[in-house]
Amino acid sequence: MRPIVIAANWKMNTTPADAGELAGTIASRTQAPGVTRVICPPFVCLAAVRDAVAGRGVEVGAQDVHHELAGAYTGEVSVPMLAGLATWVILGHSERRAYAGETDELIGRKLDRAVAGGLRPILCVGEVLAEREAGREVEVVGAQLRGALDGRDPQALAAAGLVIAYEPVWAIGTGRNARGADAAAMATAIRTSLAALGWESAAAEVPVLYGGSVTSTNIEEFLAEPGVDGALVGGASLKPDEIAGICARAALTAAARGLAS
Ligand code: PGA
């Protein structure tokens, strides 16, 4: 059975001085049986967030990681450096694709490193507005999945707990969210793409999240779709009231799907 995951992507917000307090507040206000909660702060805030949520059922993730283990890569952070700090990692976020020039091929190499190092990856995919307006969103997302996953062992990725986040670029940080039906259609298309890559039955087991202007108000629309397993939340994840509302709704879904213990 697929888990319900609510992952907070804090992006380039918070400092080591304030991240722990925010994470602690979120941990106490989002208790949600059956919901896997993950906070992904900036690298420099990982230790503060780890300490603040220790023993409180909230997991910690990085927002990116380098594809090499060590070496002359000024400013970068590798998988071994995250040991003891994070157990999840976001890969291929559209902001990294756009501002750091990340390609599907590079994202695939990061995926290998993350999985080998025991990190649970959230692989982000999604089309830009012109691609959706041209009706090419399934083709674009399919190509992103192929580019990052082709030739890799589906069983190993499934065993590593790979999560796919569908984040239409036009919905990220814009206040213009996709419709629940759009997310559901893409979740089906993603699993079809995985099946075509040889995932077979594992394709049905991969959690697919929606991301892009998720709020406590619109989360219901996404979680009402049986193929959607949670959300990757940016802006709203910095607001305790918002993320508490999102997790409360997710707990209802977890109960309805028989996940709450
Ligand atoms: P947003 O960001 O919720 O602020 O739109 C989502 C994301 O980029 O993961």
What pLDDT, on the 0 to 100 scale, is given for residue 85?
A: 98
Q: Is 242 a known active-site residue?
A: no
- Which H or E run includes 36? strand 35-40
Residue whose CA is closest, atom 9 of ligand 1?
234
Helices (H), the chain: 19-29, 46-53, 94-99, 104-116, 129-133, 137-149, 154-159, 180-194, 202-205, 219-223, 240-256
Q: Report the nearest atom of ligand 1 relative to the CA of 235.
A: 4
Residue with tokens 């290998």, as numbered in its chain? 112
Q: Whose CA is nearest to atom 2 of ligand 1?
A: 234
**Count H helices, E strands: the chain?**
11, 8
Pocket residue to mutate for ligand 1, from 5, 9, 122, 210, most atoms within 8 A of Cβ = 9
Instruction: List the residue whose alpha carbon is closest to atom 3 of ligand 1.
Output: 234
Q: Which of 163, 167, 170, 238 has most ligand 1 atoms within 8 Å of its beta carbon, as the pocket-test mutant?
A: 167
Closest residue by Cα to atom 7, ligand 1, is 234
Residue 67 annotated as catalytic: no
Give the whole-angstrom CA distance, residue 51 versus residue 64. Answer: 20
Alpha carbon of 168 to ligand 1 centroid (Å): 10
Averaged pLDDT, groups of 10, the chain, 261 residues long: 96 98 98 97 98 98 98 98 98 98 98 97 97 97 97 93 97 92 98 94 94 97 98 98 98 94 67
Specify the pTM. 0.97
| Among 102, 127, 131, 167, the one annotated catalytic | 167
* Cα 71 to middle of ligand 1, angstroms: 31
Give the 3-state DSSP-derived string for 137-156, with helices as H, strands as E and coil as C: HHHHHHHHHHHHHCCCCHHH
CA-closest residue to ligand 1 atom 6: 234
Residues with CB under 6 A from ligand 1: 9, 167, 172-173, 211-214, 232-236
Q: What is the pLDDT of residue 260?
A: 79
